[in-house]
Each structure stands twice: as structure tokens, then as C-alpha cells.
Amino acid sequence: MNVNSKRIGIVGARGHTGTELIRLIAAHPALELAFVSSRELDGQRVDAHVAEYRGELRYSAPAHEALPQLGADVVVLALPNGKAAACVEAFDKAGVDPVIVDLSADYRFDERWYYGLPELTRDAWRGERRISNPGCYATAMQLSIAPLKDLLAAPPVCFGVSGYSGAGTTPSDKNDPEKLRDNLMPYALTGHMHEKEASRHLGVPVEFMPHVAPHFRGLTVTSNLYLARKMTHEEVMQRFHGAYDREPLVNVQDEAPWVSRVAHRHHAEIGGFAVAADGKRVVIVATLDNLLKGAATQAMQNINRAIGVAETIAIPLL
């Protein structure tokens, strides 16, 4: 560990995203794992579950009140929705102020927390130490809509399909491979949390219809945008290239992206760009790996910014 390294802890490391985070941290020159908490894996070696990690660390199960004493400069909360506040309160009561990155939805509507979708909120960064990581679907929707937001004539309508890893590790119909076999499972067709999240941070109402598919990882969002004025295909492409060509983790392409091609990769792909004959309707397709750019990779972007290193350190690029 070099003199400028930071110690990082993960609370709730058993899940899919926690595992991906450990892989990224293992390759990071300025981060060292301080602790990884998991009640189910308590006492087991981390390297027995994540081959990329090299070290003697074992999973532990500290009480919330003990977290501030574990010496982490950065803490990632990889917990189910509704569970983050108790951990945050423990740090506040102890007067300990690490960088905290919350992966749940708990603080995505709290103006006291920085909402970390770097490609869209980087200019709002003011050195905050409390960072709310965006949702996977919400990331894809916002990246798809933002370049044309000023021209919308109606709420965007987004159709989403995700692999079942997005449903987490707690058994349910939405992550049961047998029930998903040869199936497409719709759920939360109005009022989904990511619908509310995208609407809030874009500043325009967004309509979203999510589905779960039989594949494990990766998601696709197809967005239908009605425009207030005519646009050509070339004008639409110019908007998206202008927005994202300097972004290393967003790839704009002419053809519609395939979810199979973005699985296990750290960037989002946006393409399709079908313009209706009247020029006032555009359909856009976005794909990303829900566990990476939709969660762990985006968290690493935010962590890197918070500790003062290049945003893409330890993140494999295109």
C-alpha cells in the first residue's frame, strides 16, 4: 500500500454488486480493503469467493455501531433499499466522516447528498463526502434522454428489460431461472423507483415499464421521445456525439446496441436513433451491464473523484 492509498470498506458485500466492487478494488493502485461485511459469509476468506482479490482478509459482520471504528476512509453501502440510514447514523453519532457511497435508492432524492451520475452531474461536484449512486435503469434512461431534453414535447416512454441479477440474491420470482425460462416478466409498470429517479434528476416526467428476462446480467432500455420540432437523423447523432464523445464510459453508435455485447463491460452503449418520417419522434436504445456501469463501475467513478484520482482508475475501458 503506497503512502497515498485509502482504506475502503464494503457493507453488504455478499451480493453481486459487492463482488464486482471487490474485483475493481483489487486492481486499484490507491485503494486497500479495510473490511467487507456479510452476515452470511462471516469468517470466510474473501479470496475464496473473489479470485481477483489477493490478501488475508475475511468477511466480517460488525454491528452498525462498530463501523466507525474500522478505520475506513471510504465506505460503500451495498445494502437493500431502506437499510442505509442506520449505517449513516452510526458514523454521524461517532463523529467519523468517511466518504460514503450508497448504492441503494435511499438518498437519491436527498438534496444533501451528491447524485453521482458522472456524465451528467460532474459539473455539480463540490467535494461532497456523501454520494448517492444512481440506479441501473435510471442511468440508462437519463443518458438516453438528456441530450434531447430541451426538445421534448411529451414525457419520454421507456421500455426496459434486465437480466435477473438486478433482482439481487434474495430468492424471488424475478431471479428464479426456472420461472424466467422462455419468459419475459413485467413488474412495477407504473411508479417504479427508477421512473421516479429519472424524472427527478432530468427535471421532466419519464414513463417506464420494466421487465425481467432469463439472462443473468445486462439491461436494455428503448426510449420513445416525441420532439417539439423536426430533427434529422444527423442532427440527433450530433447531439449525442457532442454530449458523450469525450466520455470514456459511454459509446455512441449508429446501430442499436445488443445487451450480450455489453455484459461484463464497464461502459454504456447508446444507438439505434430511429427518426420518424415527420422528424418529431426518435427512438433510442441504450444498453449497459447493470452490475457494472449500472452499479459497481459507477460507484468506482464516484470513489475515484472523491479521493482525488482520475475518474477511470482501475476501470477497464473500451
Residues labelled as active-site residues? 136
Sequence-separated (6 or more) residues with CB below 8 Å from residue 119? 143, 243, 244, 247, 249, 250
| Cα torsion through 49, 53, 57, 63, rounded to 10 | -70
Sheet containing 6-11: which strands, arranged edge to edge?
31-37, 6-11, 74-77, 99-102, 130-132, 114-115
Q: How far apart are CA 86 and CA 91, in angstroms?
A: 9
Backbone torsion region of residue 43, taken as left when φ is above 0, otherwise alpha when ψ lies between -120 and 50, otherwise beta: left
Q: How far apart are CA 10 and CA 33, in angstroms?
A: 8
